[in-house]
């Protein structure tokens, strides 16, 4: 499912117009992104948690040449699914 399909599904499910659904989705994604950028996390009970983890600097190798390269430290966004989402996905 891509973003346009998600917006259509939200519109159909909620009764909102596609324009309102687009604004709502964009605002949700922006709030989640800004919260993660500040180092916070977003907990949606029953769905999951968006959080960040710190990845330490490491040394890797270029697969073509075998030359050592330095991989910089970074902050990685993560998603940890909640029990409700896991149960829904695994329901038969």
Residue-wise pLDDT tens digits, 24-79? 999 999 999 999 999 999 999 999 999 999 999 999 999 999 999 999 999 999 99
Domains of the chain with CATH codes:
3-90 (4.10.520.10)
Is 90 exceeded by the pLDDT of residue 91? no
**CB of 50 closer than 8 Å to CB of 42:** yes
CA distance readout (Å), 87 to 11, 15, 51: 25, 27, 21
């Amino acid at each position: 499912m891509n973003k346009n399909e998600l917006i259509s599904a939200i519109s159909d499910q909620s009764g909102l117009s596609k324009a309102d659904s687009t604004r709502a989705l964009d605002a949700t994604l922006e709030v989640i992104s800004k919260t993660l950028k500040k180092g916070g996390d977003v907990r949606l009970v029953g769905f999951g948690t968006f959080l960040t983890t710190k990845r330490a600097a490491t040394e890797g190798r270029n697969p073509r040449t075998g030359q050592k390269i330095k991989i910089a430290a970074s902050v990685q966004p993560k998603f940890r699914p909640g029990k409700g989402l896991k149960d829904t996905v695994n329901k038969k």
